[in-house]
C-alpha cells in the first residue's frame, strides 16, 4: 500500500525529471555569430528576421536617439536564448509580448532570454526599447555613427546598424523595413525607400520611410540634418528623392550636378543589369567630413569630398551599380566582396566608354601595364582578400580587370548575358564568388576555373602568357614605354576608397 502510494508519485517525478531536461536539452542558445570567417561575431544564429519596424526620436542638439524596434523573425532552431547586435542602452525587451531577460556581452552582443524557450520554425516578435548617444558608443575602438553640425548619419560597411537599431547584422539575413523618425521641426530625417508620410506636432516632425524589398542591415541608412530635398521621376517611372545638406558650401553645385543624374544613370544601367529592382531611387550628401560613399539601398550616401574637385558622375555610377551587385544580390560571406566591388568598378569603366573617355579594354590594359609585378597591389587576392584588405584598391581595379579578362575569354554576347542574368538568378538573395564562376561557366559553356584562379586568386601579377590569352595587353604602353592614361582615369580614381573607413577596416 505504502509502495503503491509512493510508486505513482515516484513515476511522476521521474517522468518530470525526464521531461524537463529533455526539453531544455533540445533548446540551446543561438550562436553569437552567423558564421562569417572574416567577422566571427557579426550576425547571430538561430533565427531569421523578416521585418524591422523602427520608431525613433532623434535630437540633433545632443545626439540623443531613443526608440522602439519591433523585429518579426522566425526561429531556425529550438532556442533557449538568442543574440542581437546592438550598442545603445536597452530598457526593456519583450519576446512574443512577454518580458525577456537581457544582458550585454562581447563587443556588440545583446543576449536575450525569453521567458519561455522558443520552438524551431515558429514566428517570434521581439520588441526592444532603447536610448543612447550613438556617437559615444564604440566597438573594436571605432564608431560608424557620423556626427554632423546639424545631426547624425548612419552609413558604414560592413557595420553601421549597431549604433541605431538592434539586428541580426549580416547580409545573409535580409528583411524589409519601416523606419519612422521624429526630429525637431525644420530638420529632416532621410532613410531608404519611399516616404510614406510626414506629420508635425508640438515642434516635432515625423518622417516615415518604407523599404519594401529585402535589405541587408548595412544597407539601412539614416541621416538627420537640415537638407534641401529634390524630387523627380525617371523615364521608367521610379520616384527619385535626393537630399543635400544646406551646409555644403562651394561643393553644393558639383554635388547636385552629379547626384541629380541618378535617374538617368539608373536607367542607363538597366541596359547592362536588367530592370531596376526597387520602387525608389535617390542619393544624399550630408555635411560629413568623411571621404567615402556607400550603396545604401535605393538611396546611396555620398561624402561631400567625392565632389571636392567638381562633379563626378562616376561615383554615382558606382553606387547605383551596387543596387544590383551588392544590394539585390549580396555577398554570402564578406570574403565574396569582389561580387560587389569588381562589378561596381567595372560599371564605371563601361560609363567611361559610354562617355567617350576610354574603353573598358583601354582601362584594363592601363591597370595591367601601369603596375609592375613587384607592386604590392598584386599580392591582394580580390577573390578572398582577407578582412584587412576587404576594401583594398586591388579588389576594385584588379577585380574589374578580371571581368575584362572574362569578357575577352567568353565574348561580349555571353559576358553581357551573364551581367544581366546574374541579378535575376539571385534576386533578393546572396551568392559567392564560386557561384558567379559557375554561373558564367553555365552561360558560356566554358570551364573558367583557371581564368578565375589567375585573375582573382593568385597573390601575384598574371604573367604575359596569361595576359595574352585573356587579351589583356601592354597595348597601353606608349611609344616611350609609359602607359597612356585613359581620360576617365582621374575621375574614377577620385572615387577610390569609396568605402574607406575612418577606423581602419579599409585601405
Ligand atoms: Zn563599392
446: in domain: yes
Give the confidence band of 358 by pLDDT, cuts at 50, 70, 90. Answer: very high
208 Cβ neighbours under 8 A, 6+ residues apart: 178, 179, 180, 181, 195, 196, 197, 198
**Cβ–Cβ < 8 Å for 258, 316:** yes
User: If you average pLDDT over residues 10-32, what whole number do you get?
Assistant: 62
What pLDDT score does 271 carry?
Answer: 97
pLDDT category of residue 489 using cuts at 50, 70 and 90: very high
What is the Cα–Cα distance from 298 to 22, expressed in whole angstroms? 48
Backbone angles phi, psi at 256, to 5 degrees: -70, -40
What's the gap in Å between 335 CA and the centre of ligand 1? 14
Residue 83 lies in a domain: no
Cα of 79 from ligand 1 centre, angstroms? 37
Task: Give the max Cα distance, the chain.
Answer: 110
In a domain, 475, yes or no: yes
CA of 351 to the centre of ligand 1 (A): 15
pLDDT single digits (tens) 454-477: 999 999 999 999 999 999 986 555
Within a domain: 478: yes
> Residue 188 Cα, ligand 1 centroid: separation in angstroms?
26
Q: Which three cell numbers stand for residue 95?
A: 519576446
Give dist(CA 357, CA 276) in Å, integer: 25
Cα of 62 vs centre of ligand 1, distance in Å, is 32
In a domain, 338, yes or no: yes
Rounded-to-integer distance, Cα 429 and Cα 422, Å: 11
Ligand 1 centroid, distance to 147 Cα (angstroms): 22
Q: How far apart, in whole angstroms, are the C-alpha atoms of residue 262 and residue 246?
A: 19
User: Is residue 289 one of the residues assigned to a domain?
Assistant: no
- pLDDT reading at 379 higher than 90: yes
Q: What is the 3-state secondary structure (H, E, C) of 143-159?
A: CCEEEECCEEEECCCCC
What pLDDT does residue 14 have?
A: 44
Distance (angstroms) between ligand 1 centre and the Cα of 2 equals 78
For ligand 1, the distance from its centroid to the CA atom of residue 348, given in whole angstroms, is: 11
418-444 pLDDT, tens digit per residue, is 999 999 999 999 999 999 999 999 999
**Phi (first) and psi of residue 158, to 5 degrees:** -85, 0
Q: Give the pLDDT score at 24.
A: 55
100 closest CA partner among 85, 115, 83: 115
- Within a domain: residue 380? yes
User: Across the strands, what pairs with 188?
Assistant: 225
- Please give the Cα distance from 65 to 133 (Å, whole number): 6
Instruction: Report if residue 464 sits inside a domain.
Output: yes
Domain span at 395: 331-493
Structural domain count of the chain? 1
Distance CA 258, CA 155 (A): 20
CATH value at residue 352 = 1.10.390.10
State the average pLDDT over residues 23-41.
90
Q: Could you tell me the distance, in angstroms and rounded to a whole number, from the CA of residue 498 to the centre of ligand 1?
A: 6
Phi and psi of 444, rounded to 5°?
-90, -20
Task: Calculate mean pLDDT across residues 78-107.
Answer: 98
Amino acid at each position: 500500500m505504502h509502495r503503491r502510494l509512493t510508486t505513482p508519485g515516484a513515476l511522476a517525478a521521474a517522468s518530470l525529471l525526464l521531461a524537463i531536461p529533455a526539453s531544455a536539452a533540445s533548446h540551446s542558445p543561438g550562436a553569437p555569430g552567423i558564421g562569417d570567417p572574416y567577422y566571427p561575431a557579426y550576425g547571430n544564429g538561430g533565427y531569421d528576421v523578416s521585418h524591422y519596424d523602427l520608431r525613433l526620436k532623434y535630437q540633433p542638439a545632443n545626439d540623443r536617439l531613443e526608440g522602439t524596434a519591433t523585429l518579426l523573425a522566425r526561429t531556425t532552431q529550438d532556442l533557449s536564448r538568442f543574440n542581437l547586435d546592438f550598442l545603445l542602452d536597452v530598457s526593456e525587451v519583450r519576446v512574443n509580448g512577454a518580458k525577456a531577460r537581457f544582458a550585454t556581452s562581447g563587443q556588440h552582443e545583446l543576449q536575450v532570454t525569453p521567458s519561455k524557450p522558443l520552438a524551431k520554425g515558429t514566428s517570434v516578435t521581439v520588441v526592444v526599447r532603447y536610448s543612447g548617444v550613438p556617437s559615444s558608443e564604440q566597438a573594436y575602438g571605432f564608431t560608424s555613427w557620423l556626427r554632423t553640425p546639424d545631426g547624425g548619419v548612419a552609413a558604414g560597411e560592413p557595420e553601421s546598424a549597431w549604433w541605431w537599431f538592434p539586428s541580426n547584422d549580416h547580409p545573409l539575413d535580409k528583411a524589409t523595413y519601416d523606419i519612422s523618425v521624429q526630429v525637431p521641426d525644420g530638420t529632416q530625417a532621410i532613410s531608404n525607400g519611399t516616404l510614406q508620410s510626414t506629420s508635425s506636432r508640438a515642434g516635432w516632425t515625423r518622417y516615415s520611410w518604407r523599404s519594401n524589398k529585402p535589405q541587408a542591415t548595412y544597407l539601412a541608412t539614416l541621416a538627420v540634418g537640415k537638407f534641401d530635398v529634390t524630387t523627380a521621376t525617371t523615364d521608367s517611372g521610379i520616384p527619385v528623392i535626393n537630399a543635400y545638406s544646406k551646409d555644403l558650401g562651394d561643393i553644393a553645385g558639383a554635388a547636385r550636378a552629379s547626384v541629380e543624374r541618378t535617374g538617368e544613370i539608373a536607367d542607363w544601367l538597366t541596359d547592362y543589369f536588367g530592370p531596376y529592382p526597387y520602387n525608389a531611387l535617390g542619393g544624399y550628401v550630408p555635411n560629413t567630413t568623411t571621404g567615402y560613399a556607400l550603396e545604401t539601398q535605393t538611396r546611396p550616401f555620398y561624402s561631400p569630398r567625392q565632389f571636392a574637385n567638381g562633379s563626378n558622375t562616376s561615383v554615382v555610377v558606382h553606387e547605383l551599380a551596387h543596387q544590383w551587385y551588392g544590394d539585390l544580390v549580396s555577398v554570402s560571406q564578406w570574403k565574396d566582396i569582389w561580387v560587389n566591388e569588381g562589378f561596381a568598378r567595372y560599371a564605371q569603366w563601361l560609363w567611361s566608354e559610354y562617355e567617350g573617355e576610354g574603353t573598358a579594354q583601354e582601362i584594363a590594359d592601363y591597370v595591367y601595364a601601369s603596375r609592375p609585378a613587384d607592386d604590392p597591389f598584386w599580392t591582394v587576392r580580390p577573390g578572398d582578400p582577407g578582412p584587412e584588405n576587404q576594401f583594398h584598391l586591388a579588389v576594385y581595379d584588379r577585380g574589374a580587370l578580371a571581368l575584362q579578362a572574362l569578357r575577352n575569354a567568353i565574348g561580349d554576347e555571353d559576358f553581357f548575358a551573364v551581367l544581366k542574368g546574374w541579378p535575376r538568378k539571385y534576386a533578393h538573395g546572396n551568392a559567392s564568388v564560386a557561384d558567379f564562376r559557375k554561373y558564367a561557366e553555365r552561360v558560356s559553356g566554358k570551364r573558367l576555373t583557371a581564368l578565375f584562379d589567375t585573375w582573382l586568386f593568385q597573390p601575384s601579377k598574371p604573367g604575359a602568357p596569361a595576359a595574352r590569352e585573356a587579351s589583356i595587353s601592354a597595348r597601353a604602353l606608349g611609344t616611350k614605354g609609359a602607359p597612356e592614361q585613359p581620360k576617365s582615369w582621374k575621375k574614377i580614381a577620385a572615387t577610390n576608397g569609396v568605402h574607406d573607413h575612418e577606423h581602419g577596416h579599409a585601405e
